[in-house]
Structure 1
């Protein structure tokens, strides 16, 4: 154990892969390829499903930056809204969440 690492309430230590990134741009460089790959796959997904499956780190401001990144993907033409589903995130009690689907631009990006 290092001096900067504190155990969680259950006595275990946090997984380094789940640590929070120091700045938005560094975090975005890590998570962006995973979302481009999900968009290129042609399947419908939620933001949390990709983050959880790939064990992606949290951004500096999780409440704002996950949405900011998804909207950036949409604004850049990589994803489009596909509908709604119940969230798999344990803390949301299955509340409604937007689902996304990749566009042709995402398939081209993944192929490049």
Structure 2
């Protein structure tokens, strides 16, 4: 069976290199099940609408440095631009508290329900 997708992913992370590395690990880990293209990273809240409009992603993740309120605002705004956009907010502080491996594990655990839910 071939992987489902491709799914265009936009991340909202103030550390773009870290976002690319972590999502690269996720993409590699799920390549048999999903084809995920990390289409863009946005490193500030203000640029999210323009990037979402340009990329038209299938999925948007907000990183763990955003507060729940910021993350909700970012995700709501993106869904206004792309109705049906699947979004996910990493729990605030996950990267700082538990490190990059925990972030990758968390995404891998949640990804099927995000994409298929």
| Both proteins in one fold, TM over 0.5 | no
TM-score (normalizing by structure 2) = 0.33
Question: Structure 1 or 2: larger helix share?
Answer: 2
Greater C-alpha radius of gyration: 1
Q: Which has the higher contact order (CA 8 A, sep 6+)?
A: 1
Q: TM-score, normalized by length of structure 1?
A: 0.34
